[in-house]
Amino acid sequence: MTSISGLDRRQFLGALSLGAAALAVPHVLRAQTAARRLAGVFPIGFTPVNAQNQVDFDGLAAQVQFCRRGAGRGGIE
């Protein structure tokens, strides 16, 4: 068995991260089963601009209304 003084920095950090990952596995598995799953349509929106290169807020509102009518579960901008 190698003593602690026989480990270089890379080996020590590798062993430390492996131990931390092993300790975290039960918590991650529990969190995944308890969390709500993402399912459904998530439309990708864009920011509409007018001829003056300014945000077209009326166009943005129309886009959001369109996505909501389509029963989208969320939005990605």
Per-residue pLDDT, 74: 62
Beta-bridge mates of residue 49 = 55
d(Cα 11, Cα 17) in Å, to the nearest integer? 10
Assessment of whether the complete model's pTM goes beyond 0.75: no
Per-residue pLDDT, 57: 92
pLDDT, one tens digit per residue, over 26-55 is 776 666 555 566 667 777 778 889 899 899
Mean pLDDT of 48-65: 89
Domain ranges of the chain: 1-35, 37-77
Mean pLDDT of 5-9: 74
Per-residue pLDDT, 33: 57
d(Cα 26, Cα 32) in Å, to the nearest integer? 10
Per-residue pLDDT, 70: 72
Residue carrying the six token digits 């945000």: 55
d(Cα 38, Cα 56) in Å, to the nearest integer? 30
